[in-house]
Amino acid sequence: MTDASYKIAVLGDKDSVTAFKALGLETIECETAQEARGALRTLAAPDSHVAIIYVTEQLARVIPDEVAQMREVPVPAVILIPSKFGSLGLGMAALSDAAERATGTRMF
């Protein structure tokens, strides 16, 4: 995969992901858990060349097992972001957990 350019993708409801398309990111609109699971599988495939997947917290809340499984592999990185509805605190909690695992200290 040395010749490939890596991509960034965003999963979530239409209103939350539309702005990311203007930035050149791949956007996938998902309204159901089934759609989100399929999109994650597609984006996680080695031939997709996706390095980072942003997932709205609201979508991640309905597919917690899949998000947890994706976090066990280094690529693609799954990062939770607030949606148009605001933050549920899931992204901050995940960041705090990762920092604690890395340093052994609860940072925030």
- CATH superfamily label, 7-103: ATPase, V1 complex, subunit F (3.40.50.10580)
**Percent of the chain as helix, strand, coil, to the nearest 5:** 45, 20, 30
Say if CB 9 and CB 50 are below 8 A apart: yes
Say if CB 51 and CB 77 are below 8 A apart: yes
pTM of the model: 0.80
Lookup result for tokens 């990185």: 77
Q: How confident is the model at residue 96 (pLDDT cuts 50, 70, 90)?
A: low
What local confidence, expressed as pLDDT, does residue 1 receive?
Answer: 45
pLDDT tens digits, one per residue of 12-60: 999 999 999 999 999 999 989 999 999 999 999 988 999 999 999 999 9
Domain-by-domain residue ranges, the chain? 7-103
Listing from the earlier edge strand, what are the strands of the sheet with 26-29?
A: 26-29, 7-12, 50-56, 77-81
Coil vs helix vs strand at 63: coil
